[in-house]
Amino acid sequence: MSVKLIQDRLDSYHCQSSIEEEHAVREITQEVALAALGRTEFFKHAVFQGGTCLRILYGLNRFSEDLDFLLREANRDFELQPHLHAVSGEFKAYGYDVEIVDRSKPGIAVRKAFLKEDSLGKVLQLRHADKSGPLRKIRIKFEVDTNPPLGTGMEIKYVDFPFVSSVTVQDKPSLFAGKLHALLCREYVKGRDWYDFLWYTSQEVRINYGFLSSALRQPGPWQHQEVQVDLKWCLEHLESKIRSVHWPEAREDIRRFVKAGEQPSLELWSTDLFLSQLRKIKG
């Protein structure tokens, strides 16, 4: 019965390719993990953030790989392992045979763990499995920032698969601020960042400037600088970043995370497109 629940969920995606099928199985696994975490004390301490948060709980139309969280308050002694142990038990009830490896290191603020699963693909009916073999091992990274920037906004959301559970998430202005921090500070081009930028600007999401300012004071180009972050500052620095991006490279990074029907839209990616979207940001 538990495997049938996962199978029915997979069938609802109407996947058109093996890569879509792989993303769908990973996303279903992410949902099981989130619901399981909601049954622990985890969300009394942590807040869900990042692309997977935007995808599952706010409707972003791209797939994502990792589960990212930040603590409500800094706590260098936070331990991820007890929560992961509870998640592992929940997975077994739904037909998963998972390995969860805690890769957290002493003295490093970001706690990391990896969930690996290679049995589910052997029992699910996959319509687009590669001829070369079964579904690749599912691999999901958990990250928890134990020394987060100050000033995040948050709200309660609910997931209803595989059971109803509550999840504490960043609100959209804080998520947008976090994404702008990534866009401005990341040392390489990540197309998924720019795809999300298009979503935020099309939704006319405002920016949590306090959270962005706090994030910029952490390690990065503006570390320890008392920059006055406001709309003017953001527009100036984002325009400079947009003009520096090699858009064919950015398109290729995002391509495997969007469905086939959206692929033609990626050909529109250009400096002009993103400058046009930049003008939609409001104070």
Q: Does domain 1-170 have CATH number 3.10.450.620?
A: yes
Note the pLDDT of residue 123: 62
Note the pLDDT of residue 195: 98
To the nearest whole percent, how much of the chain has pLDDT over 90?
A: 73
Q: Tell me the mean pLDDT in the region 118-133.
A: 64
Is pLDDT larger for residue 266 or for residue 106?
266
pLDDT digits (tens, 9 = 90+) for 81-123: 889 888 888 888 888 888 888 888 888 999 999 998 876 666 6
Checking if the pLDDT of 167 tops 60, the result is yes
Note the pLDDT of residue 135: 67
Residue whose tokens read 């020394």 = 147
Residue whose tokens read 């002493």 = 106
pLDDT digits (tens, 9 = 90+) for 221-236: 999 888 889 999 999 9
d(CA 33, CA 53): 12
The pTM of this model reads: 0.93
Checking if the pLDDT of 131 tops 60, the result is no
Note the pLDDT of residue 229: 95
Mean pLDDT rounded to a whole number for the chain: 92
- Contact at 8 Å (CB) between 92 and 117? no
Checking if the pLDDT of 252 tops 90, the result is yes
Checking if the pLDDT of 140 tops 70, the result is yes
Checking if the pLDDT of 133 tops 60, the result is no
- Average the pLDDT over each of 11-25, 28-42, 90-104, 151-165 and give the range with the smallest value: 90-104
- Average the pLDDT over each of 45-49, 258-262, 270-274 and give the range with the smallest value: 258-262
d(CA 47, CA 170): 6
Note the pLDDT of residue 37: 95
Note the pLDDT of residue 243: 98
d(CA 185, CA 96): 37
d(CA 119, CA 135): 9
d(CA 209, CA 216): 10
Locate 42 and state its tokens.
């985890």
Q: Tell me the mean pLDDT in the region 258-273.
A: 95
pLDDT digits (tens, 9 = 90+) for 186-211: 999 999 999 999 999 999 999 999 99
Note the pLDDT of residue 81: 86
- Contact at 8 Å (CB) between 227 and 213? yes
Q: Could you tell me the pLDDT band of residue 12, with boundaries at 50, 70 and 90?
A: very high
- Residue ranges covered by each domain of the chain: 1-170, 172-283
